[in-house]
């Protein structure tokens, strides 16, 4: 059965790293909105420039734009065999839009992987990356945006989708093992 998963957690929780590993091990298309947005910015298109301005402020790209990007990506051949969404949905409107897209396609999410990492660890990780857009003030703003706009998305999925909540602190292999164990132990879809 083709799994349809979503990985969820605050900025810096390791979603991208774990999504790439889990996607490969379970032969799922890794659908990373971050990768899609970075590609648009790198291409220097008008859309890419608009995205860069939003990202540099630490804000979120509009719901309509993100939903269109994701819907297009889920229609590609590799995603038909299962996918792992990374970085989407980030707002309630995006979650509702995703539900409509999946219903229209005659499918649904099987599980939401939730990476739990406390704020002190998230700030420490961001500072260690040393990226230009990772000032402590910007990181804190991203966490505030996450708490205010993204974290409530879990409420939308509660009772509709199985949650696989794992401790996101430790080395990469330990966290991957926790996710795999959680998905396999609860493999009831």
Active site residues: 15, 90, 129, 131, 142
Which 3 state secondary structure label does DSSP give 110?
coil
- CA–CA separation, 178 and 70 (whole Å): 27
- Whether the Cβ atoms of residue 127 and residue 50 lie closer than 8 Å to each other: no
- Distance separating alpha carbons of residues 79 and 19, to the nearest angstrom: 14
Q: How far is Cα 113 from Cα 84, in angstroms, rounded to an integer?
A: 10
Do residues 76 and 29 lie in contact, with contact meaning Cβ atoms separated by under 8 Å? Answer: yes
Check: CB of residue 95 under 8 Å from CB of residue 155: no
Residues 6+ apart with CB under 8 A from 6: 84, 85, 88, 89, 109, 111, 112, 113, 157, 161
């Amino acid at each position: 059965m083709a799994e349809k998963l979503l990985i969820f957690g605050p900025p810096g929780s390791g979603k991208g790293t774990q999504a790439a590993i889990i996607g490969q091990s379970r032969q799922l298309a890794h659908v990373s909105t971050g990768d899609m947005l970075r590609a648009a910015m790198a291409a220097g298109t008008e859309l890419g420039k608009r995205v860069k301005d939003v990202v540099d402020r630490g804000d979120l790209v509009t719901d309509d734009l993100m939903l269109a990007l994701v819907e297009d990506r889920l229609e590609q051949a590799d995603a038909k065999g299962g996918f792992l969404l990374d970085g989407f949905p980030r707002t309630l409107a995006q979650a509702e839009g995703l539900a409509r897209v999946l219903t229209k396609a005659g499918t649904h999410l099987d599980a939401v992987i939730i990476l739990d990492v406390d704020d002190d660890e998230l700030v420490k990780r961001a500072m260690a990356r040393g990226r230009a857009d990772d000032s402590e003030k910007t990181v804190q703003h991203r966490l505030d945006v996450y708490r205010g706009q993204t974290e409530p998305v879990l409420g939308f999925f509660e009772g509709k989708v199985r949650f696989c909540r794992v401790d996101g602190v430790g080395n990469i292999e330990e966290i991957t093992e926790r996710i795999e164990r959680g998905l396999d132990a609860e493999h009831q879809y």
